[in-house]
Each structure stands twice: as structure tokens, then as C-alpha cells.
Amino acid sequence: MTMPQMNGSVFAEKLKKIRPEIPIIICTGHSSLMDKEKADQLGIESFIMKPVSMKNLAQAIQSVLHCNRRLPHTPGGDDITQ
């Protein structure tokens, strides 16, 4: 993801500092900016290269949700662990 002030890896890093338990899937077409090794270093749960099939995207989503089933309850939010 490219945004005016930062790219996706910077965004993911900042998000993980705020909410380390939140699952992140990076989907990129630029392997020079992000690769599996860098994604692992940032604590990103799933890394997908474009073009991506719906099947691979669904598998990535299912995988990160399965690994994060026991997310802590956020006050005022829905408890998704039940």
C-alpha cells in the first residue's frame, strides 16, 4: 500500500506498535519494496504477491483469523472470541 505519508510496511510497523495482536496481510506487486523475509521481521502474519487469486486470498485470511482466534477483548468492542 502506498499512501501520501508512508508505505504499507511503515504503516504495518506503526500499527503493530499500537496493536501487536492485530493480524496483517500484505499484498504487493513490488517485491523490491517488500518480501517474505521483511514481512516476517515486521511481524506480518501473511505475505502475498500480486496477482493473487481469490483462493489464495481466502486462504491467507482464513490462516490469520485461525491464528488470532483468541484476540483480547477491547472495551466497548465486540468480543469475537465467543
Is the overall model pTM greater than 0.75, yes or no? no
Q: What's residue 7's pLDDT?
A: 85
Structurally, at CATH architecture level, domain 8-67 sits in 3-Layer(aba) Sandwich (3.40)
Using an 8 Å Cβ cutoff, are 15 and 42 in contact?
A: no
- The list of the chain residues with pLDDT below 70 reads 1-2, 68-82
pLDDT digits (tens, 9 = 90+) for 26-37: 988 877 778 888
Phi-psi region of 17 (alpha: psi -120 to 50; beta: other; left: phi over 0): alpha
3-state secondary structure of 2: strand
Domain boundaries, the chain: 8-67
Q: What's residue 69's pLDDT?
A: 57
